[in-house]
Amino acid sequence: MAVSLVWGEGIDDRQTVVVPEPGPEYSTTPLHFTAGGDTDTGRLEITATGRGELSIGTASLMPADNVEGFRADTLELLRELDSPVYRWPGGNFVSGYDWRDGIGDPDRRPPRTNPAWQGIEHNDVGLHEFLRFCELLDTEPYVTVNTGLDSARSAADEVEYCNGSTDTPLGVLRARNGHPEPFGVTWWAIGNEMYGDWQLGHMPLEEYVQKHNRVVEAMRERDDSIIAVAVGAVGRWSEVTLAECADHMDCISEHFYVQERPGLLGHTAWAAERVREIAEAHRRYRAEIPGLAERDIRVALDEWNYWYGPYVYGELGVRYFLKDALGIARGLHEFTRQSDLYIMANYAQTVNVIGAIKTTPTEVAFATTGLVLKLYRNHYGSIPVEISGEMRPLDVVAAWTDDRSALTVAVVNPTRERMLLPVAFEGFEPAGRARHWLITGPDPQAYNEPGGEMPVRLSETARVSFTSSLRLAPMSVNLYRLEPRR
């Protein structure tokens, strides 16, 4: 048996590795290649000579610098993004997914037709790989269970597999699969968008709330420390779920996607409007549903984004523009204003698809929206500060850092004009200079391309003059870090 990496049509445009004589048992053979040329049509060839029968399982080809199967360049940007939590496996996909398909030897897992979208699910990334991915990024896992076509018993088994000791049957199986210590997964999404007729296993609300309660009871029997996030959708679905399932949830999820709107101001305001509308609805539910206010069931808005335009980066792989980045920043601003109600907000999704990072087979780059998420995650404060005054069309928020050593002020200018913002503080005297981060570009339709042009940039100025007003570039996201005057 021989395996060849081929990069051209000539006799010398290939490298061939001969595999030792296969035996009667399944085995894995690692191979290493060095390409001798550049091509967009390279291929891997597997050939055999002689008599008899040869069965080939999984063939996987990846760069030599891969990190446990993940692309090193993409992991580098994900570390810069520094997301505090990742939700997996989704999404519409989860309602037809059997988590047992994603455990054990990856090369021996069954491939399945993707139950929600196109193509094949190869099961290269299952529970172990996802949880290892979270370890590599030092982030919190948030696992979604299948409440579509699967059962309460299956969801409970998944909890035991992740969190049970080796005194439990599924803890033993996890240890046999290479991880003796429990993973300790805290956050669990109880299904995904079960209100939609597009969802596998969709059922009437009155039936679903009963299934939700059965699933959570079974899961808590295996680990009563988990945080259970119910499926919500503003309107009757959320109202009935909160009324009937409050004892079987810790939080409730909501989702929204917005499309393209005419006009720069309208487009950039759309995400923030939806964040506010959902918050206002849940404030009404707390006031109207008996006993709900005392329970403080907060909202996990675990899918939100802009979603429109052609698919450039594979299935659902939309391109994001500067105007979308301005809108995402305004969405983050509204989350800070409503942070007493929201416990989590998960931009969806991460890589390609409707993601914050875009890739080609050889290049990777932050989309415009990813630059905003990176900036606010790394530099915006965490303790909201009240602001007042008429600032429209500018969008302004402020927050102290964790240790209250500095004040951060974020301003989105969603207009094509240079703007001047007067500022004054009560109980805080800033130093005369501030640290300034800026995201802007030449045009609302400007976008970044992996391996190509990067007209939308995140820049930093260590010391800018800060007096009684701020000068704001057109179509810009601005973040200032202010130290107190000593």
| CA separation for the pair 378, 374 (Å, rounded) | 6
Q: Per-residue confidence at 41, pLDDT binned at 50, 70, 90?
A: confident
Do 355 and 419 lie in one domain? The reply is no
Mean pLDDT across 454-466 = 93
| CA separation for the pair 302, 139 (Å, rounded) | 16
Confidence (pLDDT) at 468: 81
Q: Identify whether 388 is part of a domain.
A: no
Confidence (pLDDT) at 55: 87
Confidence (pLDDT) at 365: 98
Confidence (pLDDT) at 52: 87
pLDDT in tens, 443-458: 999 999 999 999 999 9
Mean pLDDT across 84-95 = 95
b/e map 243-269, b = 16+ CB within 10 Å: ebbbebbbbbbbbbebeebeebeebbb
Do 205 and 318 lie in one domain? The reply is yes
Q: Per-residue confidence at 57, pLDDT binned at 50, 70, 90?
A: confident
Do 5 and 105 lie in one domain? The reply is no
Mean pLDDT across 207-232 = 98
Q: Identify whether 95 is part of a domain.
A: yes
Confidence (pLDDT) at 60: 83
Mean pLDDT across 189-202 = 96
Confidence (pLDDT) at 357: 98
Q: What is the CATH number of the domain that holds 193?
A: 3.20.20.80
Mean pLDDT across 106-117 = 91
Mean pLDDT across 176-180 = 97
Catalytic residue numbers?
193, 303
Q: What is the CATH number of the domain that holds 413?
A: 2.60.40.1180
Residue 195 amino acid letter: Y
Of 32, 61, 90, the domain-final residue: 61
Q: Per-residue confidence at 53, pLDDT binned at 50, 70, 90?
A: confident
Q: Identify whether 67 is part of a domain.
A: no
Of 358, 382, 406, the domain-final residue: 382
Q: Identify whether 389 is part of a domain.
A: no
Do 285 and 144 lie in one domain? The reply is yes
Do 171 and 283 lie in one domain? The reply is yes
Mean pLDDT across 367-394 = 96
Do 287 and 415 lie in one domain? The reply is no
Mean pLDDT across 400-427 = 95
Do 234 and 191 lie in one domain? The reply is yes
Do 334 and 363 lie in one domain? The reply is yes
What predicted TM-score, i.e. pTM, was given to this entire model?
A: 0.95
Q: Identify whether 329 is part of a domain.
A: yes
Do 452 and 414 lie in one domain? The reply is yes
Contacts of 57 (CB under 8 A, 6+ apart): 26, 107, 108
Do 199 and 304 lie in one domain? The reply is yes
pLDDT surpasses 80 at 96: yes
The total number of structural domains in the chain stands at 3
Of 361, 382, 403, the domain-final residue: 382
Confidence (pLDDT) at 23: 86
Expressed as residue numbers, the domain containing 430 is 395-484
Do 344 and 417 lie in one domain? The reply is no
Do 199 and 254 lie in one domain? The reply is yes
| CA separation for the pair 212, 297 (Å, rounded) | 16
pLDDT surpasses 90 at 427: no
Where on the phi/psi map is residue 351: left (φ > 0), alpha (ψ -120 to 50), or beta? beta
| CA separation for the pair 434, 460 (Å, rounded) | 11
pLDDT surpasses 90 at 482: yes
Tell me what the pLDDT averaged over the chain comes to.
95
Q: What percent of the chain has pLDDT above 70?
A: 100
